[in-house]
Amino acid sequence: MDLLNTLVDKGLRRELPTREEALAVLATSDDELLDVVAAAGKVRRQWFGRRVKLNYLVNLKSGLCPEDCSYCSQRLGSKAEILKYTWLKPEDASKAAAAGVAGGAKRVCLVASGRGPTDRDVDRVSKTIQAIKDGNEDVEVCACLGLLSDGQAERLRSAGADAYNHNLNTSESTYGAITSTHTYADRVDTVQKAHAAGLSACSGLIAGMGESDEDLVDVVYALRELDPDSVPVNFLIPFEGTPLAKEWNLTPQRALRILAMVRFVCPDVEVRLAGGREVHLRSLQPLALHLANSIFLGDYLTSEGQAGKADLEMIADAGFEVEGAGTTTLPRHRSTAHDEAPAAGGCGSSVGGCGPAADTGADAGHSGCGGCGSSGGGGVCAPEPAGVPEPVAASAGADEPHPAPVPAGAARTDLVAVRRRGAGTDLAPNA
* Separation between Cα atoms, residue 34 and residue 45, nearest integer Å: 16
Q: Give 216's contacts (C-beta < 8 A, 6+ positions apart).
A: 26, 171, 205, 207, 258, 261
| Residue 332 labelled as part of a binding site | no
Minimum CB distance to ligand SF4, residue 428 (Å): 25
Query: Counting every residue, how long is the chain?
Result: 431
Please calculate the CA angle 252-257-261 and round it to the nearest 5 degrees.
Answer: 150
Q: Catalytic pick from 14, 75, 187, 272?
A: 272
Question: CB under 8 Å to 190, separation ≥6 — which residues?
Answer: 116, 146, 147, 148, 164, 166, 367, 368
The amino acid present at 328, given as its one-letter code, is: T
Contact segment (CB under 6 A) with ligand SF4 among 67-75, 100-108, 127-135, 270-278 equals: 67-75
d(C-alpha 8, C-alpha 179), whole Å = 36
Is there a binding annotation on residue 354? Answer: no
The reply on whether position 276 binds ligand SF4 by CB under 6 A is no
Which of helix, strand or coil describes residue 391? coil
Question: What are the C-alpha distances in Å from 419 to residues 87, 223, 244, 429?
Answer: 17, 30, 19, 10
Q: Least CB distance from residue 323 to ligand SF4, whole Å?
A: 28
The sign one gets for the Cα dihedral 358, 202, 171, 42 is positive
- If one asks whether residue 53 binds ligand SF4 (CB under 6 A), the answer comes out as no
Q: Is 142 a catalytic residue?
A: yes
Binding mask 72-111 for ligand SF4 (x = CB under 6 A): x-xx------------------------------------
Is residue 65 among the annotated active site residues? yes
Q: Which of 44, 75, 187, 202 is catalytic?
A: 202
- The nearest distance, CB 70 to ligand SF4, in angstroms, is 9
Chain residues 365-394 in contact with ligand SF4, contact rule CB under 6 A: 365-370, 375-376
Min. distance of Cβ 58 from ligand SF4 in angstroms?
A: 15
263 noted as active-site residue: no
**72 has catalytic annotation:** yes
Q: How far is the CB of 262 from ligand SF4 (least distance, A)?
A: 20
Helix axes of 213-226 and 252-265: crossing angle, nearest 10 degrees: 30
CA-based nearest residue to 169, from 372, 361, 363: 363
Q: Quote helix, strand, coil % in the chain, to nearest 5.
A: 35, 10, 50
- Is 69 annotated in a binding site? The answer is yes
**Selected catalytic residue, list 65, 144, 372, 381:** 65
Nearer residue to ligand SF4 within complex by CB, 33 or 194: 194
Q: Does 241 bind ligand SF4 (CB under 6 A)?
A: no
Say whether residue 263 binds ligand SF4 (CB under 6 A): no
Find all residues with CB under 8 Å of 137, minimum gap 6, and list them. Answer: none
Q: What's the closest the beta carbon of residue 392 comes to ligand SF4, in angstroms?
A: 30
**Known active-site residue 369:** no
Q: Does 203 bind ligand SF4 (CB under 6 A)?
A: no
Active-site amino acid positions: 65, 69, 72, 109, 142, 202, 272
Instruction: Please give the residue ranges that form the binding site for ligand SF4 (CB under 6 A).
Output: 65, 67, 69, 72, 74-75, 113, 115, 146, 365-370, 375-376
Annotated binding site: 65, 69, 72, 109, 142, 202, 272
